[in-house]
């Protein structure tokens, strides 16, 4: 079987090349644009969206086939990415490296829905992937391409989750991996993962954007397959949560999807996924995709505010949501396209708002890492601005597991996370919410009476009493 099943198209100048013809930095030599993976059935552009050409997949037949595969024992069928492989035919089945990623839950969020004043809120928890973040869905795709093309080495610059995922998939696929992370600016859980999975881990004394610069230089000098999200194959895997969400909702389309924005690939991938489903006739419309950034790492938000998105204004990024501490996001143009095609918005949220939203998601019994919590903080703003209506159905993309950054959670509950100035930004209502949610650990002598008295005080504070 030939695997010229796809091509790459520059998102800026439209130049089309064979998949294998791409250069080591995954940028168009004519205009420096990023590529999209396109298939014979892909619409050439939005204008001819209504009439995809080529061998168009049949929605009804595919829905049936994908459902059937759920009972299969084959690894490739058990993967929540490769189960949908007809829509990402980028490698032969024999080259697939999988950890059975995807298959993540779509949780109801009744308490959070009530807090924000809407009827219907769900969370697609991509933190429930094998290495604890959404990166696994993209990594299985791009690393399989690296394996298929015979690369021995793969590398990425990362704020911690990409590197964890890459190290794991490289180890599974028998490839060797190199990780560049900003020194001191990633959560320990993530740093430990790349070491655990056997990557060469290099902490550079710079930020994420500095790591990207060094790596970009490196891959032009050595035969290393770059696994950052400039690699368009990553986005092919990262579009598959769209298919899972639609399946989980029995093919009903929600009104809104909210996603955190860092390097801006994930919102782009979800946009591509929904647009493809629309072109192919699986769904009659697409949801609005909104991208939420931390106020201290808000280049897309700022650019939209200041120049309507005509050019990116890079920023010196700073946020405790270290996963999205990115000032010069590579995929900003793709993300803008997703916002425009779907009619969504870009919002920014403060450190105080992120901390509160994270604690509220935690109190649902779900939990997530700080970067994921920007979605709920952003939802509050969109509701307050009248952009999301009470009866509209909203899905938050929770991108990372709460255990990724347990230090953040501990600092929050000990009251050691926010500065006085940050805390002072909270409204009276937010302050009251923090007070209810904060649950610092209580250290006691091992004395039953002391324990009982303390519990009585605690329960009294929470409006409950000890059963007698
Ligand atoms: N949420 C989490 C938990 C992340 O790790 C990231 C990105 C994002 C959201 C943002 O996604 O970059 O596609 O806009 N983490 C990257 C990394 C940059 O290196 O792990 P994005």
Give the tokens for residue 412.
């929050």
Asked if 112 and 394 count as a contact pair (C-beta separation under 8 A), the reply is no
Q: Which two tokens stand for residue 385?
A: 């601005």
User: What is the tens place of the pLDDT at every residue in 129-185?
Assistant: 999 999 999 999 999 999 999 999 999 999 999 999 999 999 999 999 999 999 988
pLDDT digit string, tens, across residues 227-256: 999 999 999 999 999 999 999 999 999 999
- State in Å: Cα 400 to ligand 1 middle: 9
* Dist CA 221 CA 225 (whole Å): 11
From ligand 1's centre to the CA of 156, what distance in Å? 13
Domains contained in the chain, CATH given: 106-131+235-437 (3.40.50.1100)
Quick check: helix, strand or coil at residue 210? helix
**324 alpha carbon to ligand 1 midpoint, in Å?**
6
Q: Measuring from each residue's beta carbon to the nearest atom of ligand 1, which residues come in under 6 Å?
A: 133, 135, 158-162, 229, 260-266, 323-324, 369, 371-372, 399-400
Phi, psi of 67 (to 5 degrees): -70, -45
The residue written with tokens 């095609």 in the block is: 341
pLDDT of the residue at 50: 52
- Point out which residues pair with 349 in neighbouring strands: 294
Q: Whose CA is nearest to atom 7 of ligand 1?
A: 323
Nearest atom of ligand 1 to the alpha carbon of 266: 13
**Residue identifier of the C-alpha nearest atom 4 of ligand 1:** 323
Which of 160, 263, 349 has most ligand 1 atoms within 8 Å of its beta carbon, as the pocket-test mutant? Answer: 263
The H-assigned helical ranges of 308-447 are 332-342, 351-362, 370-384, 406-413, 420-424, 428-437
Q: Which of 225, 213, 220, 229 is nearest to 333 (CA)?
A: 229
74 alpha carbon – ligand 1 mean position (Å): 30
Location of structure tokens 């120049």: 307
Q: What is the pLDDT of residue 411?
A: 97
Q: Note the pLDDT of residue 44.
A: 52
Q: Which atom of ligand 1 is nearest to the CA of 404?
A: 3
Residue 459 contacts by C-beta under 8 Å, 6 or more apart in sequence? 465, 466
- Model-level pTM? 0.96
- Burial degree of 172 (CB within 10 A; 0-12, 13-18, 19+): middle
Give me the average pLDDT of each 10-residue run along the chain (468 residues): 79 97 98 97 59 76 97 98 98 98 98 98 98 98 98 97 98 98 91 96 95 96 97 98 98 98 98 96 97 98 98 97 97 98 98 98 98 98 98 98 97 97 96 94 96 93 73
Scanning 13-134, the segments in alpha helix (DSSP H) are 59-68, 75-78, 110-116
- Please report the atom of ligand 1 found closest to the CA of residue 264: 14
CA of 416 from ligand 1 middle (Å) equals 25
| pLDDT on residue 82 | 98
Closest CA to 111 of 102, 103, 121: 121
* Cα 262 to averaged position of ligand 1 atoms, centre (Å): 5
> How many angstroms from the chain centroid is the CA of residue 440?
29
* Ligand 1 atom nearest 259 alpha carbon: 9
Burial of 333 (0-12, 13-18, 19+ CB in 10 A): middle
Pocket test for ligand 1, best of 138, 212, 241, 266 (most atoms within 8 A of CB): 266
């Amino acid at each position: 079987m030939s695997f010229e099943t796809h091509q790459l198209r520059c998102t800026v100048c439209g130049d089309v090349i064979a998949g294998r013809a791409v250069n080591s930095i995954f940028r168009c030599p004519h205009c420096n644009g990023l590529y999209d993976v396109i298939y014979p059935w892909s619409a050439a552009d939005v204008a001819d969206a209504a009439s995809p050409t080529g061998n168009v997949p049949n929605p009804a037949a595919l829905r049936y086939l994908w459902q059937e595969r759920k009972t299969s024992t084959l690894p490739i069928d058990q993967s929540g990415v490769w189960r949908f492989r007809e829509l990402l035919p980028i490698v032969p089945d024999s080259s697939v490296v999988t950890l059975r990623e995807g298959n993540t839950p779509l949780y109801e969020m009744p308490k959070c829905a009530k807090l924000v004043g809407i009827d219907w809120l769900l969370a697609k928890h991509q933190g429930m992937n094998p290495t604890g973040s959404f990166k696994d869905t993209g990594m299985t795709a791009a690393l399989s391409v690296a394996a298929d093309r015979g690369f021995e080495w793969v590398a990425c610059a990362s704020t911690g989750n990409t590197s964890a995922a890459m190290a794991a998939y490289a180890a599974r696929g028998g490839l060797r991996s190199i990780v560049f992370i900003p020194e001191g600016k990633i959560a320990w859980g993530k740093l430990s993962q790349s070491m655990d999975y056997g990557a060469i881990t290099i902490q550079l004394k710079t930020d994420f954007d500095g790591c990207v610069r060094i790596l970009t230089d490196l891959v032009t000098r050595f035969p290393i397959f770059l696994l950052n999200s400039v690699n368009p194959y990553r986005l092919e895997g990262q579009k598959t949560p769209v298919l899972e969400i639609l399946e989980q909702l029995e093919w009903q389309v929600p009104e809104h999807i909210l996603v955190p924005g860092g390097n801006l690939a994930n919102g782009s991938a979800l946009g591509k996924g929904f647009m493809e489903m629309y072109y192919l006739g699986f769904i009659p419309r697409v949801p609005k995709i909104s991208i939420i950034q931390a106020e201290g790492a808000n280049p897309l938000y700022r650019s939209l505010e200041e120049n309507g998105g005509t050019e990116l204004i890079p920023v010196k990024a700073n946020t405790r949501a270290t996963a999205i501490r990115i000032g010069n996001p590579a995929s900003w143009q793709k993300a803008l396209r997703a916002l425009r095609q779907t009619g969504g918005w870009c919002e920014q949220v403060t450190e105080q708002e992120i901390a509160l939203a994270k604690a509220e998601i935690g109190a649902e019994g779900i939990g997530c890492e700080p970067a994921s919590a920007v979605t709920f903080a952003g939802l509050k703003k969109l509701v307050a601005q009248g952009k999301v209506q009470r009866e509209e159905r909203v899905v938050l993309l929770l991108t990372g597991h709460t255990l990724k950054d347990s230090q953040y959670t501990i600092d929050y509950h000990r009251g050691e996370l926010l500065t006085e100035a940050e805390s002072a930004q909270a409204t009276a209502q937010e302050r009251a919410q923090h007070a209810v949610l904060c649950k610092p650990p209580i250290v006691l002598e091992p004395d039953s009476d002391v324990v009982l008295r303390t519990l009585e005080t605690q329960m009294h504070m929470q409006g409950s009493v000890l059963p007698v």
